[in-house]
Amino acid sequence: MDVRAWTFVMVGLSFALYIAVAIWSRAGSTNEFYVAGGNVPAVLNGMATAADWMSAASFISMAGLISFMGRDGSVYLMGWTGGYVLLALLLAPYLRKFGKFTVPDFIGDRYYSQTGRVVAVICAIFVSFTYVSGQMRGVGIVFSRFLDVDINIGVVIGMGIVFFYAVLGGMKGITYTQVAQYCVLIFAYLVPAIFISIMMTGNAVPQFGFGGTIADGSGVFLLDKLDSLSTDLGFDAYTLGRKDMLNTFCITAVLMVGTAGLPHVIVRFYTVPKVSAARTSAGWALLFIALLYTTAPAVAAFVRTNLLTTIPNSRYEDAPNWFKKWENTGLIKFDDKNEDGIIQYVGSNSAINNELIIDQDIMVLANPEIANLPNWIVGLVAAGGLAAALSTAAGLLLVISSSIAHDLLKKWLRPDISEKKELFTARIAAGIAVCIAGYFGINPPGFVAQVVAFAFGLAAASFFPAIILGIFYKRMNREGAVTGMIAGITLTAGYIIYFKFIHPELNTKDHWWLGISPEGIGAIGMIVNFIVSMMVSMVTPPPPTDVQELVERIRIPVGSSESHEISV
């Protein structure tokens, strides 16, 4: 069968599995809709958390970023991995013990403030919509190439699938669907990596192949060959770091603390029956995540090496089939400026004009085709990319849904609303959120990983300080927390909007404040949040005694193995 047929088979089977799981595990109550009834086993929750967290940015875009950025792309690996460790050790157990299953719920109750709850809801929706636009963009990319449909139609198809199992099943349906999606995405990521590692280095373990020698008997290390290919074409050496240290630090910090403030990841720790299970599921999730994240640098090096070996300085009519198929999507473009029919792909250090434009989001998806792997692997990778994007999109949409139905309606505007009406409202909110997410997927503010980086920056500048101070600082009050969140997210969002939308022509290092890019400005927003929160809390009344006692109880490990009922 050809690539398209295999893609239909792989994607069709995976979608059938997701829909069947969603029907089997559909939610019948608000407790099941929001937190899957709070009885998901730790191992399965760890798998679902890994799928929820490893979005299209991880599966599709991260290795693509590294393949173009080289060593500088390690900020994404360090930031996202370190952030998950921070979340698992510093936040998850305490938030689970608190017993509230949304971030706005924690903010509203910990800071005894409906204003704080509303601000947190706005932040959660803002962060989630920014994040979900990247996922929908990833869905569109996969469909546009492998099913030969327009990228916008691909987004609409993805919207329909997410709508079905997110609205029908809620967190219960999403959780078990994400378990299936993790199995699909990790299999789809590792299989081609193992094949290519064997082909290029003779080593079946991609992580070892990444640091090994090429299998041609020359004894040349893979990275040395990649450095040589890059410099010969006028690019910087692949292993050379080029980013400014301060900006690198800020981006890494944003990705770390942004991870710890992402509402759709935090809510996963409320789906387990007790606090100890939250810690255990965090450990399992880290293991499942590591399988992909330790493989990504190898995938990036493999695809970059194959690309530079096959495309530059070749004649267009002799270009491989994968090149012309991806060209049809508009995500790779050849502009024959000197009309000699030769594809000139060169770095900025060369005097020759570059004639090739490549969207880095295609690198992982095109990787099996570039390496001439069997068609069934190409279809498998397409299914894996869709699994990664859809799993995270569903989690984000549920955050938006619960923020509106539970945190705004039930906890503020209509506290007397029945459970049936609240569940109906949650499903309506999820449906509307799907439509808005689809719009942002069709009109994204950047490539997938960049858009996700913006979401992490917004989460770092808004939620992280409020959560950390709420757990570890008894004196933090509502005035300080609310003012800090507003200050942090306003600064971060304003900086991003200014450079990305108002004056994109100024989005260069020469115009950035202290050389900090929009992707890294969330670190400054987080610092501002901390400073404003602390200063305001010092000049305003302390929290009530019962709130301070609550903070003390959260941090005491006694009884951590006991089940804690979640009140909805």
The pLDDT, as a whole number, for residue 482 is 92
Measured distance CA(424)–CA(553) in Å, rounded = 35
Kindly provide the residue ranges of all beta strands, DSSP E only, lying in 354-466, ordered along the sequence. Answer: 356-358
Tokens of 223: 């990275």
Measured distance CA(531)–CA(557) in Å, rounded = 29
Measured distance CA(57)–CA(156) in Å, rounded = 19
The pLDDT, as a whole number, for residue 36 is 55
Cα 337 to chain center, whole Å?
37
Helix/strand/coil for 315:
strand
pLDDT-based confidence at residue 213 (cuts at 50, 70, 90): very high
Q: Which residue has the tokens 């991870």?
A: 259
Most confident among 117-126, 182-191, 399-408 (mean pLDDT): 182-191
* Cβ atoms 252, 259 nearer than 8 A: no
Cα 264 to chain center, whole Å?
10
**Sign of the alpha-carbon dihedral angle for 175, 20, 362, 224:** positive
The pLDDT, as a whole number, for residue 167 is 64
* For the chain, counts of helices (H) and of strands (E): 24, 2
Residue range 60-64: mean pLDDT, rounded: 85
Measured distance CA(151)–CA(329) in Å, rounded = 8
The pLDDT, as a whole number, for residue 357 is 84
Residue range 175-184: mean pLDDT, rounded: 86
Measured distance CA(271)–CA(265) in Å, rounded = 11
How does the average pLDDT of the chain come out, rounded? 82
Dihedral through CA 266, CA 270, CA 276, CA 282, nearest 10? Answer: -40
**By C-alpha distance, which of 391, 301, 267, 282 is closest to 71?**
301
The pLDDT, as a whole number, for residue 120 is 82
pLDDT in tens, 327-372: 877 778 888 888 888 888 887 655 556 888 888 888 888 899 999 8
Residue range 8-26: mean pLDDT, rounded: 79
Tokens of 439: 């719009």
Which positions ≥6 away from 370 have C-beta within 8 Å?
Answer: 303, 306, 307, 310, 320, 322
More confident residue, 549 or 454: 549
More confident residue, 138 or 339: 339
Q: Quickly count: other Cβ atoms within 10 Å of residue 221's Cβ.
A: 15
pLDDT-based confidence at residue 561 (cuts at 50, 70, 90): very low
Helix/strand/coil for 221:
strand
pLDDT in tens, 499-543: 887 888 888 888 899 889 888 999 999 999 999 999 999 999 999
The string of DSSP codes covering 22-42 is HHHT---SHHHHHHGGG---H
The pLDDT, as a whole number, for residue 29 is 58
- Distances from the Cα of 175 to the Cα of 43, 170, 523, angstroms: 12, 8, 31
pLDDT-based confidence at residue 168 (cuts at 50, 70, 90): low
Q: Which residue has the tokens 């009140």?
A: 567
pLDDT in tens, 270-298: 777 777 777 788 888 888 998 999 999 99
CA atoms within 13 A on the CB side of 156: 5
pTM metric for this prediction: 0.81
CA atoms within 13 A on the CB side of 173: 28
**Sign of the alpha-carbon dihedral angle for 145, 400, 165, 279:** positive
Residue percentage of the chain with pLDDT more than 70: 89
**Res. 566: pLDDT tops 60:** no
Q: What is the DSSP letter of 262?
A: -
**Sign of the alpha-carbon dihedral angle for 31, 93, 519, 382:** negative
Q: Classify residue 40 by burial, with Cβ atoms within 10 Å: 0-12, 13-18, 19+.
A: buried
More confident residue, 492 or 153: 492
Residue range 19-28: mean pLDDT, rounded: 70
Measured distance CA(292)–CA(387) in Å, rounded = 14
Query: Which residues face 357 on adjacent strands?
Result: 333
Residue 514, sorted as left (phi over 0), alpha (psi -120 to 50) or beta, turns out to be left
**Do the strands 356-358 and 332-334 form a parallel or antiparallel pair, or are they unpaired?**
antiparallel
Tokens of 237: 């050496």
Measured distance CA(155)–CA(142) in Å, rounded = 9
Helix/strand/coil for 100:
coil
